[in-house]
Structure 1
Amino acid sequence: MNNGETKIKVIDAICGAGKTSWAIQMINDAEKVNGFGETSDKKYIYVTPFLNEVERVSNSTKADFFQPNAQRGKGSKIEHFKMLVELGKSIVTTHELFKRLDVETLEEIEQEGYTLIMDEVANVLEAINISHKDIEYLLKWNVIEVDELGKVTWLDDEYGQDKDDRFRDIKIIAENENLFILQEKAFYWTMNIKAFEAFDEVYILTYLFDGQDQRNYYDMHNVKYEKFSVSKIENKYSIIPYDKMKEPRREMYDLLNVYEDYQNGKSISKMNSNYDSREKLTSRQIRNQLSSTWFKNASEDDLKQLKNNANNYLRNICSTDNNKVFWTTIKKYAPVLKNPKCKYNKKDDRSKDNFVSFNARATNNYAECESMVYMYNRFMNPNDKQFFTTRNVDVDEDLLAVSDLIQFIFRGCIRKGEPMNCYIPSERMRELLKDWAEYKI
């Protein structure tokens, strides 16, 4: 950062509170300058998950935003991005492009004095596909060295000049200061911390930030940040100190018709448990139902029962038209669990089904949907968790899980203040949702 001081503000507010509207208002207020012909000297990089949100920002702000265009960058959006930075232009782009910025571009951003607005947290951590043996080889032959935090530096300058060199891509990641190691057994790409330190001001727009990898990543790098929420009085948005007790959690929860098993005379329903054929389950086994490990070990009959439950729920218990339904599970098992109500297009054409990723954010395409099915019990990837815990970072798996669940729920009609039906067969996920509504987490 230009003044050596971290200025990161996390705008942590419930879905629909107006985070993006506040950011657009902030930009527009800065554009109000006195005098004929004057323009604001503020420069922004606005990062958002989806291309259609890029259009929204471009069309809603008075600032002159440019979108990186491959045709203007010699066939590369990154090259055009660099050109726009050199010209000191405000830029609106996607998370996918932002994560690919190299050290040289980040240094140019720092010199120009930009403000970063990031809509939703970044993907700051990704495992790299390389074998344990290959990592051993690179260490044994002193091709790389590792610092105290686990950051990998590539030592062999001559390696990689041939495009066919086996580890050329990994060398490039290391040269951009993105490569970290986990206990000599795994490599990780991580976002360069300069991607946040290079800006004069940083605003992260999200919800339940403390459960996100980006918070873990900030703690790992000892990056300081402040948390705020959003308030709207009449037509004016402002940021206020973060206080979860001021969120309308109970009101939101009361709009959700969450399915629970019942017994009414001879009528018994066990749709929240009948998909697990194991007998005498321990509390730990119940807690882990529908986790990634559970799915890996589930029998065909168990998966068939789960599939039938979802269909039964949407056909008979909360009868809902297919175009008013959205659902999720681990993507690998979506083709197995799809049914007449829960559609899944094997070519990943989401316009032809009603499947939504379990950690979907920032999409409004399902705002008319009245019923949802969430057939997953979210835990952190064990290696990802270890990546942070071995660096003395405390991770909050429960907050991560409920964060993804709430973000998913808010894709539906509840975002408009309308009641919504929810089939959430994991006991742990239902309990976490209740804990959230009662401000326990």
Structure 2
Amino acid sequence: MTVKVLDAICGSGKTSYAIQHINESPDKLFIYVTPFLSEVKRIKNESIQEFYEPEIKYGKGKKSNHIKVLVEEAANIVMTHELFARLDPETLMNIKLEGYTLIMDEVANVLNTVGDITKDDIRSLRDSDILRIEPTGEITWLDILYDGVFNHLKVLAMKKNLFIHNGVIIFWTMPVINFSSFEEVYILTYLFDGQIQKYYYDMHEIKYQKYSVVKAKEKYKLTQYSKSLEPREYIGSLLGIYEDYQNGKSISKLNTNYLVKSNKPDKALSKAWFHKANTSQIDQLRKNLLTFFTTQALTKVDDLFWTTFKSLAPEIKNKKCKINKKDDRSKDNFIPFNTRATNAYADKTAMAFVLNRFMNPNEKQFFSSRGIEVDEDLLATSDLIQFLFRGCIRNNKPMDCYIPSSRMRTLLKKWINYEI
């Protein structure tokens, strides 16, 4: 199996190609996976073939039970990423027998940290011959009759997808069978080479081929991947990227006034920087956000969206930039920085990206220790471009941007100039 990665910029027609492919393949069975319920409805509405959405009314009232029934009935299914990650071995075996094609809108969450366990816990379980640590770091569960506080680890380890790193950090990885059970696999995303799923594929030696999507005579088709097909310069012309100096003149200091001499500008606004920042720096960032949306890009609360690390957002929110404690996005204008595959903010005319994106060091070491090279700059660029495309530039309209991290602005400019 070779995964087909549709690595194309937002708005290029990836989803339209997928729906076209479905409509032109009445003899195939499809499982379509998407992050949002709104996209579930789109697939059901625009596909000629009938798609079924799992419901909580089968077996023990779990959607996963309905998926099992739908696969046995050889039905086309549309589901969320969350449900896809929970497919059990029996369902996956039936998927393989039926010859399904997988279309995944945006990359999956293929790597997670498993908490609530200490180094001493691991040592005790190992010394008691309850588990074994393989040379690869994989955890093999030996005591199948074990019934205790670490049952959640047992369940994951029995699926052969639990790894230990640095003697204490436990990573869950999505079982490879979630992909290998399909006859064909399509991944719809952008800048795939910077994303964790790419490194996961490399680790498991899953082959993939990247394609661009082009439109000719009202029909979408795949072609050999080339970034030259992307209208990056045009997109750059739509972005009003704030700079402290414009036309040689000082405008303001919103990109630098929160720094101190000891700071390394390229590391500023990383998660580690935020944890070390003093109160005056955080206060200045809060003021900067408000200043940008009231003087540099005069914007109403309903016309902007912003982000930073979610745990730190309450510290820099203000009367323009809001975040709801209960994660009700209808009551604020905050969006998680890794939001993808939604058009819900396409009317917003200004944005702020107040963070400097680096890969989690433990995740980076997890892959690098296995000989997998990680491109943190491409990862950061991918998240920034995806975030920008939540706003009105996806509709070819100008958008004001506040990106105070010098590293993130530099990466954006390199992307615009096809240097990334």
Shorter-chain TM-score category? over 0.9
Identify which range, 325-334 or 96-105, moves more after superposition: 96-105
CA distance in 1, matches of 2:149, 2:100: 37
Q: 1:171 to 1:318 in 2, by over 3 A?
A: same
Instruction: Please list the CA deviations of residues 368-389 of structure 1 after superposition, one character each: whole Å capped at 9, or x if unmatched.
Output: 1110000000000011111111
1:25 aligned residue (16, 20, 23): 20
CA distance in 2, matches of 1:198, 1:414: 38
Match of 1:14 in 2: 9
The one-letter code sitting in structure 2 at the alignment partner of 1:334 is A
Match of 1:179 in 2: 162
2:97 aligned residue (111, 114, 124): 111
Q: 1:221 to 1:148 in 2, by over 3 A?
A: farther
Deviation at 1:309, TM superposition (A): 0.5
Q: 1:202 to 1:266 in 2, by over 3 A?
A: closer
Deviation at 1:327, TM superposition (A): 0.3
Instruction: Please list the CA deviations of residues 40-83 of structure 1 after superposition, one character each: whole Å capped at 9, or x if unmatched.
Output: 3x111100001111111011101121111111343111111111
Deviation at 1:139, TM superposition (A): 2.1
CA distance in 1, matches of 2:283, 2:112: 32
Q: Residue 2 of structure 2 contacts residue 206 of structure 2 at CA under 8 Å; is this kept in 1? A: no
Deviation at 1:178, TM superposition (A): 2.2
**Aligned residues between the structures:** 419
Alignment of 1:262-341 (within 5 A): 262=245, 268-276=251-259, 278-281=260-263, 285-341=264-320
Partner SS for 1:180: strand
CA distance in 2, matches of 1:266, 1:151: 57
Alignment of 1:370-409 (within 5 A): 370-409=349-388
Q: Residue 244 of structure 2 contacts residue 250 of structure 2 at CA under 8 Å; is this kept in 1? A: no
Deviation at 1:250, TM superposition (A): 1.2
Instruction: Please list the CA deviations of residues 285-338 of structure 1 after superposition, one character each: whole Å capped at 9, or x if unmatched.
Output: 111100000110111111110011011010111101111100000111111111
Alignment of 1:219-230 (within 5 A): 219-230=202-213
Partner SS for 2:24: helix
The one-letter code sitting in structure 1 at the alignment partner of 2:261 is E
Alignment of 1:68-147 (within 5 A): 68-129=54-115, 130-147=117-134
CA distance in 1, matches of 2:250, 2:80: 51
Match of 2:38 in 1: 52
Deviation at 1:157, TM superposition (A): 1.1
CA distance in 2, matches of 1:106, 1:229: 29
Q: Residue 401 of structure 1 contacts residue 429 of structure 1 at CA under 8 Å; is this kept in 2? A: yes
Provide the TM-score with structure 1 as the length reference.
0.93
Q: Residue 263 of structure 1 contacts residue 269 of structure 1 at CA under 8 Å; is this kept in 2? A: no
The one-letter code sitting in structure 2 at the alignment partner of 1:228 is Y
Q: Residue 271 of structure 1 contacts residue 425 of structure 1 at CA under 8 Å; is this kept in 2? A: yes
Partner SS for 2:240: strand
Identify which range, 360-369 or 183-192, moves more after superposition: 183-192
CA distance in 2, matches of 1:82, 1:7: 25
Q: 1:247 to 1:295 in 2, by over 3 A?
A: same
The one-letter code sitting in structure 2 at the alignment partner of 1:81 is I
Q: Residue 140 of structure 2 contacts residue 157 of structure 2 at CA under 8 Å; is this kept in 1? A: yes
Deviation at 1:280, TM superposition (A): 4.8
CA distance in 2, matches of 1:92, 1:439: 35
What runs of 5+ residues in structure 2 fail to find an aligned partner? none
Instruction: Please list the CA deviations of residues 339-370 of structure 1 after superposition, one character each: whole Å capped at 9, or x if unmatched.
Output: 11111111211100000001110111110111
CA distance in 2, matches of 1:117, 1:208: 17
Q: Residue 106 of structure 2 contacts residue 188 of structure 2 at CA under 8 Å; is this kept in 1? A: yes
Deviation at 1:263, TM superposition (A): 7.2
Q: Residue 64 of structure 1 contacts residue 90 of structure 1 at CA under 8 Å; is this kept in 2? A: yes
Deviation at 1:108, TM superposition (A): 1.7
Instruction: Please list the CA deviations of residues 184-213 of structure 1 after superposition, one character each: whole Å capped at 9, or x if unmatched.
Output: 221111100111111100000000000000
CA distance in 2, matches of 1:119, 1:280: 43
Deviation at 1:103, TM superposition (A): 2.0
Partner SS for 1:391: coil
Q: Residue 130 of structure 2 contacts residue 146 of structure 2 at CA under 8 Å; is this kept in 1? A: no
Deviation at 1:438, TM superposition (A): 1.3
CA distance in 2, matches of 1:138, 1:317: 58
